Structure 1
Amino acid sequence: MVQHAGDSLAQSQWAERGRMPFFSLGPDTSREVTYLVRISHARVPFSGGLFLKTQVVASDQEQRAQFFLGGYFGLAALAVFVALANALVYRDRGFGAYAIYVLAMILGQAGITGVGGMLFWPEMPALNNPMTFFMPLLAGALGVWFVRIVATPQQYSTLLDRLAVSIILGLIAVAGIDAVVPSVIGFELSLYLLALSMGVVLLLLGLAIARGDRHSRWIAAGYALIVLGGIFPVARNFGLIQSGFLSEYGLMLGSAMEMPLLFYGLNRRLNEQTETRARARALAVTDPLTGLTSHRRLLTQLQASINRARNGRPFALMVVELANHAALARELGREGAERALVLAASRLRRVVRGTDTVARVGAQHFAVLMDSPCSLDEANAIATHAVAQGLRENEVLPPGASLRFHVALGQLPMVDLDAVATLDMLLAELKAISLDARKTIRVVKR
């Protein structure tokens, strides 16, 4: 009786269907039987062992292996799904590269462990060789690509960045040629390139850590695990060690521990980038010293209010100058003058209504946009309250020092004046108030 199994045959032609070749022995124990086993592969040296197992032992061991494999592929599939979701939602290239890299690892491990041949393409043995040899090389290239995106070597070393790109292209080229024309030389070259790619990845991450990239530490820790796990199958393929548990599952174990570390590092990186972008957006619409609305943002809101008010909905704009800012700067220095500006912003916030907008529109000038329907009497009352708040004692300035507010107030809209012209007109009105004037509020009527 002749039995066949192997990666060149469909599962339906195997003596026993499964991840690995199994051959049945005759049940007759009354006589001696000679079995001849022929094992061959065109490129990979055989270093495995031959084992005699009962059906119960083989089934028990395979169940444990499938439990482990199921956990790995389930974790990897979840990582791919969540990473793709993050890549699409946040438009993050790092998560996109991570998802593609892990997907290539999944397919490569499916080929190496026999899960793919048993479950996914049982009647397509032509896929066994590409998945076993091409996909690991592609995963190596994608790993370098992923680290290149995260570590950004192009920012500090053009030579190192070109080396990373060369390894990526080299791995893809060797993988493609080897898939079309398999050879021993191609197999050995791929092993050397994979080993080189692991070294370059750790070098890129090490330099990123040295430059202060905190998130690269987690990614480096993940890659260190996969490099450690990958040593055993590489050493087996070079004929340095015999097949065993670590040579069969070492890379998978390293990959399983690598995925959450990479994901965590990417997530920290994404959070920091999101916070940075949020701060940048906030700076575009707020004043960095006082936290008030920015000059540009106020003009946008003011023009929108003018456009709405042309339909008969009046509103008011109050422009405030910290008139003694220069004197405070001479007495308290730059830091003291800045504290006075922050205090002025705080006092103005206290007197306005919840719907009003307080903005900083100059070195010592502020504006209050009273957008909801507001009469001149209401606006004048708020202006009077603001002046009184400035004169109150405080714990920020030295004893006896106070904030002297000058106010120009207008009911809007005014004929033929847009937002910029309206603000400039009220700022010009402020200049008409002398520093020692007793009347510090000027009202401009339509």
Structure 2
Amino acid sequence: MFFEVFSAHFAGSKAWIRPCAGLWAAFGLALVLALLSLPALSRTVLDLDAEKQPVALADWGDYWIDPQSQLAVEQVVNQRDLGWQQTPARGIYPLLPGQSLWIRFIVPPAPDMERWLLEIPYPALDRASLYTLDSAGQWIEQRAGDLTPVNLWPTPHRHPLLVVNFNAEDPTHYILRIDNAQGFSAPIRFVSSGHVLRSEQQVSLFLGIYFGLALLGCTAGLIGAFWLRDRAYLYYAACSALIGLTQVAITGVGGLHLWPDSPAWTDRSLTVLATWMLVSLLLLNATVVSLAQRSRMLNLLVWAAALAGAGLSVALALTDSALRITLMVPFLVLVPVLMLAINLWAWRRGDRFGGWLLLSAAPFALSLSLAIARYLQWLPLSFATEQGVLASMALQMPAMLVVLVLRSQQRRENRRRIQGLDRVDPSTGLINEQVFVERMARMIARSQRLRHQGAVLMIDLVNSEQVRRDFGRRAAEELPLRVAERLLSTAREIDSAARLSGQRFGMLVEGPFSAEEAATLGPRIVARCLMPYKGLPEDCAAQIRVAYALVPRQGPTAEIVLGRLAQRLTGIPPESKRAVFMLPDYK
């Protein structure tokens, strides 16, 4: 009965519940939207607190973009329908070439115990103008940027610093105009003069270290080019100098100290110097891997890119800012891709330095991609996008100097080996028969003069054909090289080891020693050569036969000793199990 009454009551109330449920849902949705909109309606209050520097403008101001860049400050202030928008706390302004960005903000009343400045930490900014009303109602302009000589800035500095005046009673209204062909995404912040001084001391330390490294690299490159007659060092010196000059341009040091009265060059110096820096870096990589000798096609491609960079630098020096990014970005993409491709190509073909060059160039390519994204307005201005390229090169250039030094050592060793080919066996590094005979003659004469005995050993490798049948051609070709290594490890510093022919070796062992001591030399060498060789099968052992003679007792001249030793080894039957043979006394 109860369930029937309840069911009838519930069925009768459905018509009332449906509209109420719709109202409650609409009310809940409106409440959620209102709560979500509260952070958007609230703004960060500008508080010039000396303990919290730098103080960001954040979303305290409003901005508007003049699409034609035609309005003056009076027109911007008086027009009411410009569509001002809240400044983003952290973001990128949609500023295009030929447009002007206007930002208005109010500095609340605050005690003026310190001198405050509006800072835009972007040395490559074209123009920044800060307007404020004077007592007569006229707008007073402070201007900074690349298009204005640094000597005419209100506060000459590496990047724009504009004075902010305010008082403790009334708010102060400001309007900021920014023109920049590369868009604008730099932070706008307020700092005191004391904070600027402290931060510049830290920056000066960093820049001093960087410029010192660049100067050191340039000096080392010039010394290497003069002393070693190596063109790679000349490219290294040019690259180091251009890296330093590019850092001068990108940090604003050049506009402040080197060319303060040349706004045209200040505006163009960064792109021109960066282009030449990339050209020198590309040529340096190509030279280190000896590209001209290894691939004529790739070398022509590198020189075509270098000539294109030279032409591009001229175009960048003559064109306006709006066109420079369009010209520069393809070259910024081409050079690192080509450089990485060259290093990868060299590494894949066995170049001992190609892998190290590829590894050292990877951070540079990554940081350059971030810089390109910044130029294309995909990322905001930051240390990674502005200084990342040069910071990565501060790591790459010392690595390349190490590679150059190792390359010079290798080239010097190769020249030494080429010059010594008539005296050294190229495959083993042992002396050849001619040098062996010369040293033996001197050892015999020395032994006669000092009245002691020296030993001459002739060693034959007798199982090469068996190794070829059992383990293959590679093992048979490598086995004599391993025997040469064992002979070198057995010989003392005063002894000599030689390769007399394909399967025959010789050793000179300086005396004095007795006949009993000399008898132990052969078995020791045989045992050493029977030990397993790394990289070869365990059963792949070198079977050798050793004939030795004491000189001058068993031969007065080198020719006689060599002839007797060769005759003794030749006369041994192939089935003989004996390995060491001594010559009888010479009569």
TM category (shorter chain) comes to 0.5 to 0.7
Given the alignment of the two structures, is residue 252 of structure 1 paired with residue 391 of structure 2, yes or no?
no
Contact 1:286 1:294 in 2 (8 A): yes
Q: 2:562 aligns with which of 403, 408, 427?
A: 427
- Alignment deviations for residues 352-384 of structure 1 (CA, whole Å, 9 cap, x no partner): 8774434443433413153x7x6xxx5756544
Contact 1:218 1:262 in 2 (8 A): no
- Alignment deviations for residues 212-251 of structure 1 (CA, whole Å, 9 cap, x no partner): 643243134123223222213432xxxx569x423x8614
Map of 1:310-389 to 2, 5 A cutoff?
318-322=455-459, 326=462, 328=463, 355-362=494-501, 363-368=503-508, 370=510, 378=513, 383-386=518-521
Inter-partner Cα distance in structure 2 for 1:51 and 1:396: 71
Q: 1:175 aligns with which of 287, 300, 313?
A: 313
Give the corresponding residue for 1:112.
250
Higher strand share: 2
AA of the residue aligned to 1:18: H
For the structure 1 residues 159 and 59, does the alpha-carbon distance in structure 2 shift closer, same or farther, using more than 3 Å as the test? farther
For the structure 1 residues 135 and 222, does the alpha-carbon distance in structure 2 shift closer, same or farther, using more than 3 Å as the test? same
Inter-partner Cα distance in structure 1 for 2:343 and 2:466: 52
Give the corresponding residue for 2:335.
197
Inter-partner Cα distance in structure 1 for 2:144 and 2:509: 82
Aligned-pair CA distance for 1:81: 2.4
Give the corresponding residue for 1:24.
163
For structure 2, list consecutive stretches of 5 or more residues without a partner in the other structure: 1-139, 470-474, 533-538
Aligned-pair CA distance for 1:106: 2.7
Give the corresponding residue for 1:441.
583
Helix, strand or coil at the partner of 1:71: helix
Inter-partner Cα distance in structure 2 for 1:202 and 1:439: 60
Give the corresponding residue for 2:103.
none
Q: 1:45 aligns with which of 160, 165, 181?
A: 181
Map of 1:16-95 to 2, 5 A cutoff?
16-27=155-166, 45=181, 47-48=183-184, 54-56=190-192, 60=195, 63-64=198-199, 67=202, 70-71=205-206, 74-75=209-210, 77-78=212-213, 81=216, 85=220
Given the alignment of the two structures, is residue 132 of structure 1 paired with residue 270 of structure 2, yes or no?
yes
Contact 2:243 2:277 in 1 (8 A): yes
Given the alignment of the two structures, is residue 215 of structure 1 paired with residue 215 of structure 2, yes or no?
no
For the structure 1 residues 60 and 318, does the alpha-carbon distance in structure 2 shift closer, same or farther, using more than 3 Å as the test? same
Contact 1:409 1:426 in 2 (8 A): no
AA of the residue aligned to 1:171: G
Contact 2:455 2:508 in 1 (8 A): yes
Q: 1:165 aligns with which of 303, 306, 312?
A: 303
Helix, strand or coil at the partner of 1:245: coil
TM-score (norm 2): 0.54
Inter-partner Cα distance in structure 2 for 1:255 and 1:175: 19
TM-score (norm 1): 0.67
Higher helix share: 1
Helix, strand or coil at the partner of 1:405: strand
For the structure 1 residues 87 and 367, does the alpha-carbon distance in structure 2 shift closer, same or farther, using more than 3 Å as the test? farther
Contact 1:73 1:106 in 2 (8 A): no
Helix, strand or coil at the partner of 1:214: helix
Inter-partner Cα distance in structure 1 for 2:434 and 2:178: 77
Inter-partner Cα distance in structure 2 for 1:341 and 1:196: 46
AA of the residue aligned to 1:21: P
- Alignment deviations for residues 139-171 of structure 1 (CA, whole Å, 9 cap, x no partner): 121222233234555566533332221121121
AA of the residue aligned to 1:16: T
Give the corresponding residue for 2:68.
none
AA of the residue aligned to 2:506: F
Give the corresponding residue for 2:370.
229
Aligned-pair CA distance for 1:138: 0.9
Inter-partner Cα distance in structure 2 for 1:195 and 1:347: 55
For the structure 1 residues 136 and 12, does the alpha-carbon distance in structure 2 shift closer, same or farther, using more than 3 Å as the test? same
Aligned-pair CA distance for 1:205: 4.0
For the structure 1 residues 134 and 404, does the alpha-carbon distance in structure 2 shift closer, same or farther, using more than 3 Å as the test? closer
| Sequence identity percentage | 19
Inter-partner Cα distance in structure 2 for 1:52 and 1:392: 80
For the structure 1 residues 87 and 333, does the alpha-carbon distance in structure 2 shift closer, same or farther, using more than 3 Å as the test? farther
AA of the residue aligned to 2:507: A
Inter-partner Cα distance in structure 2 for 1:22 and 1:389: 82
Q: What is the number of residues matched between the two proteins?
A: 416
Inter-partner Cα distance in structure 2 for 1:241 and 1:390: 71
Aligned-pair CA distance for 1:16: 1.0
Contact 1:341 1:364 in 2 (8 A): no
Is the radius of gyration larger for structure 1 or structure 2?
Answer: 2
AA of the residue aligned to 1:257: S
Inter-partner Cα distance in structure 2 for 1:16 and 1:69: 18
Helix, strand or coil at the partner of 1:223: helix
Inter-partner Cα distance in structure 2 for 1:144 and 1:344: 42
Inter-partner Cα distance in structure 2 for 1:189 and 1:162: 22
User: Which structure has the higher relative contact order (CA within 8 Å, separation 6+)?
Assistant: 1
For the structure 1 residues 233 and 314, does the alpha-carbon distance in structure 2 shift closer, same or farther, using more than 3 Å as the test? farther
